[in-house]
Amino acid sequence: MATANKNLSNYDKNTIPNAKDFRFGIVVSEWNDHITNGLYHGAETALLDCGALPKNIIRRNVPGSFELIYAAKQMMKSCDFDVIITIGSVIKGETMHFDFVCQGVTSGIASLNAEGVIPVIFCVLTDNNEQQSIDRSGGIHGNKGTEAAIAAIKMVALDRITS
């Protein structure tokens, strides 16, 4: 396991661009909300720590992870954001539903990135069991929401350099 005994959510604030002027759209799935709220908290905390203004962090909720794609696209069309973070959690069950949702969400978010309007950050946990999700949403393996926030800041900074 790539994250065994390792917290990947630690970052050096001195190496992260200041996010004071960046606008963040965050779409959060309500499915497995005990996980997705932890991911959101990690993302929001990291954004604020890196200078983002609370008024520039806009959260929208959707019923499940599959709906993240539509909401992210709507946020992109509004032109109000520099980056979108999609937060979801899909936990493997007994049917192939897990595979279809994971494939669809991954492909959909990749397609949004290929459109090249603004970056869309993928923060969708696809775990085999609930404990793995807990461990990655503020548990022993850190918080993937934090990592998504740092990626979002770096992508906005990259976009501004190359524009």
**Domain CATH code at residue 74:** 3.40.50.960
Domain presence at residue 142? yes
- φ, ψ dihedrals at 30, nearest 5°: -80, -15
Angle between helices 144-162 and 33-49 (to 10 degrees): 50
Phi-psi region of 25 (alpha: psi -120 to 50; beta: other; left: phi over 0): beta
For 49, phi then psi, to 5°, come to: -60, -30
Q: Give mean pLDDT in consecutive 10-residue pieces for the chain, a chain of 163 residues.
A: 61 94 98 98 98 98 98 95 98 90 96 93 97 95 96 92 72
What pLDDT, on a 0 to 100 scale, did the predictor assign at position 1? Answer: 44
In a domain, residue 61? The reply is: yes
**DSSP state, residue 89:** E
Q: Tell me if 107 is assigned to some domain.
A: yes
The answer to the question of residue 119 being in a domain is: yes
Quote the number of domains for the chain: 1
pLDDT of residue 6: 58
Residue 71's domain comprises 19-149
pTM assigned to the model:
0.94
Q: Is position 34 annotated as part of the catalytic site? A: no
Burial of 135-154, coded b for 16+ CB within 10 Å and e otherwise, reads bbbbeebbbbbbbbbbbbbb
For residue 7, the model assigns a pLDDT of: 66
Note whether residue 144 is domain-resident: yes
Question: pLDDT value at position 9?
Answer: 82
